[in-house]
Chain A
Amino acid sequence: MSGDLLVARDIEVVFGGRGHWLGRTREPVKALHGVTVRIGRGETVGIVGESGSGKTTLGRALLRLIDVAGGSIAFAGRDITQLSEAEMRPLRRRMQLIFQDPMASLNPRRVIRRIVAEPMLFHGVAKDEADAEAKARAIFARFSLPLACLDRYPHELSGGQRQRVGIARVALLAPDFVLADEIVSGLDVSTQAQALNLLKDLSRDLGLSMAFISHDLSVIRAVCDRVYVLRSGRVVEEGACEDIFAAPKHEYTRALMDAIPLPRIDRDWLRRTAADVAA
Chain B
Amino acid sequence: MSDAALAIADLNAVSDRDGEAILRGVSLTVERGETRGLVGESGAGKSTIGKAILGILPRAVRVTSGEVLFEGQDLLKAPAALRRRLIGERIALIPQDPMTALNPGRRIEGQLTDGLRLWRDLSAGAAREAALKLLDEVQIRDPERVLRSFPHELSGGMRQRVLIAAAFALEPKLIVADEPTTALDVTVQKQILRLIRAMQSAHGTSVLFVTHDLGVVAQICDRVTLLFGGRVVEEGRTADLLQAPRHPYTRALLEACPRYDQPCAGLRPIPEQIIATLRAEIAA
Contact = CB atoms under 8 A, between A and B. Distances in A.
Does chain A bind chain B?
A: yes
Interface stretch (A86-94, A130-138, A149-157, A185-193): A185-193
A189 B257 contact: yes
Interface in B209-246: 212-220, 238-239, 242-243
B185 interface: yes
Nearest to B188: A50
Nearest to B275: A190
B218 A266 contact: yes
A255 B187 contact: yes
A238 B99 CA distance: 34
Interface stretch (B7-15, B141-149, B265-273): B265-273
Contacts, number: 116
B253 interface: yes
A259 B187 contact: yes
A51 B197 CA distance: 24
A219 B258 contact: yes
Contacts of B212: 188-189
Nearest to A190: B270
Contact of A270 (B215, B219, B242, B264): B219
A261 B190 CA distance: 8
A241 B256 CA distance: 20
Nearest to B214: A263
Interface residues of B, number: 42
A242 B263 CA distance: 8
Contacts of A99: none
Interface in A56-110: none
Contacts of B197: 270
A265 B242 contact: yes
Nearest to A255: B187
Nearest to B270: A190
**Which residue of A189, A259, A266, A269 has the most chain B CB atoms within 10 A of its CB atom?**
A189
A263 B260 contact: no
A130 to B, nearest CB: 33
A197 B269 CA distance: 9
Interface string A189-214: 11111101100100000000000000
A190 to B, nearest CB: 4
Nearest to B220: A270
B185 A215 contact: yes
> Interface SS of chain A: helix, strand, loop or mixed?
helix
Contacts of A188: 41-42, 212
Nearest to B254: A263
A269 B217 CA distance: 12
B194 interface: yes
B193 interface: yes
B187 A189 contact: no
A264 interface: yes
B20 interface: no
Contact of B253 (A190, A222, A245): A190
Contact of B186 (A196, A245, A259, A264): A259
A200 B238 CA distance: 33
Contact of A196 (B215, B263, B267, B270): B267
Interface string A260-277: 111111100111001000
B42 A262 contact: no
A193 B268 contact: yes
Given A262-B215, A270-B197, A190 B185 contact: no
Contacts of B214: 189, 263
B189 interface: yes
Interface string A221-242: 1111000000000000000011
Contacts of B217: 263
A250 to B, nearest CB: 14
Interface in B146-205: 156, 185-190, 193-194, 197
A260 B258 contact: no
A218 B256 contact: no
A170 interface: no
A264 B269 contact: no
A60 B219 CA distance: 36
A259 B243 CA distance: 21
Nearest to B241: A263
Given A219-B258, A221-B258, A242-B263, A194 B269 contact: yes
Given A196-B267, A218-B258, A189 B190 contact: no
Contacts of B213: 261
A164 to B, nearest CB: 12
B259 interface: yes
B269 A221 contact: no
Given A193-B267, A222-B264, A263 B256 contact: no
A189 B256 contact: yes
20 contacts: A50-B187, A51-B185, A159-B42, A189-B212, A189-B258, A190-B41, A190-B253, A191-B269, A192-B258, A193-B258, A193-B267, A200-B266, A218-B260, A221-B258, A222-B264, A256-B186, A261-B219, A263-B218, A270-B194, A274-B187
Interface of A: 50-51, 159, 188-194, 196-197, 200, 215-224, 241-242, 245, 255-257, 259-266, 269-271, 274
